[in-house]
Copies of this chain bind each other. A is one copy, B any other.
């Protein structure tokens, strides 16, 4: 920890004529710092979502599969980050260097190459983009989005998928699928330039992508043993640790302030900070709306509030507001979130009716509410077009679902993606890892 003078080096005799430039430069520098700071704060908050997904999933699976779920989450997060560095970042943000397409015509495939940060102790002339933020802060922030996408998948496929094939899929998802489609919007690609698609922080670009990949996986993988009886009954597999699942939800909620707030991409002006404030308030109230809607809906439908629905309702509220957390009023944001909560309450049994087994409800939360949120942009942002929103939902959905389905199928046919029946009944923790999550407690 060095300690040295940090003040801008100023010539001792600052001439009067230099003043305008000095004042203006100072303003510019301060904005660069504040923009970068937004990414750093936003980034550690989105990082925190990795812990949220992990706790949520560990709480919602049965105790015999908890160690595996923890292992998967640690591994996928770490892998996603490194793959995003090696491949994803420049695929997603080619800065004009498209492999296929151009900024003008609309890009389709970004640039290949590892991420490179600015040099140590860089000055105003050395930064990549003085009007934006430091590349390191941007990279740090964006990396967390790629990892979040992968986290979504691990929940759905819990309790029966093999570790290593899952990790191979994670590499493809975070290194290719996610960044390529993200470049179409956030890298300035064709969805952005040709369709005017609006997705502020990723209801589609992040959440539905994770959801589509999870859906493809669930179809190829099949439901957990004993989940659906021959008579068509759905056997509940209650989560083993609801405080943990609740903690995970709170963590995700907290992280979402960084997810949506950081996506303003700037904090150096009054307008930007006021916008971030709106985003924070709207993001929060959408989660509240989602939680309350699920509370009321389950009370009405089942005569009993259902905590796991309330948790997923809050998350669905968050996903729903993510495509446009800025333009809604507080009331509108609450309603958008509440609709997301209602979607979850109906979508969970709907998927079960189709025998699509989603261990934690990630498809309703991230895919269905993600689509809803992307459509809801139309209600509050006049710049959104029906064509731009719907076409983009479809294009991204088809791309991600088809590619994911193919990859899952190849994995299934080659290395295999599912543990043996015996191992599944024993539980992945003892069968695959030889390590119980709660060795002192579980009934044996």
Contact = CB atoms under 8 A, between A and B. Distances in A.
Contacts of A8: 27, 31, 269
Contact of A136 (B64, B240, B254, B274): B274
A75 B270 contact: no
A273 B243 contact: no
A58 B440 contact: no
Contacts of A311: 74
Given A75-B305, A186-B1, A274-B136, A55 B114 contact: no
A36 B274 contact: yes
B305 A267 contact: no
B58 A131 contact: no
A327 to B, nearest CB: 6
Interface in A12-40: 14, 16-20, 22-24, 26-37, 39-40
A370 interface: no
A164 B15 CA distance: 65
Interface in A77-130: 77-79, 81-82, 85, 114-118, 120-124, 127, 130
Interface in A225-281: 238-244, 246-247, 249-251, 253-254, 257, 261, 263-278, 280-281
Interface string A295-323: 10000000011111011001000000000
A433 interface: yes
A143 B284 contact: yes
A347 interface: no
The 8 closest A-B pairs by CB, nearest first: A136-B277, A51-B250, A78-B288, A137-B277, A134-B274, A63-B440, A6-B266, A134-B277
Given A16-B20, A118-B277, A143-B284, 18 more contacts: A1-B200, A6-B35, A19-B20, A26-B26, A36-B274, A51-B254, A54-B243, A63-B440, A63-B441, A70-B242, A70-B307, A74-B291, A74-B295, A75-B292, A116-B329, A117-B278, A120-B278, A123-B270
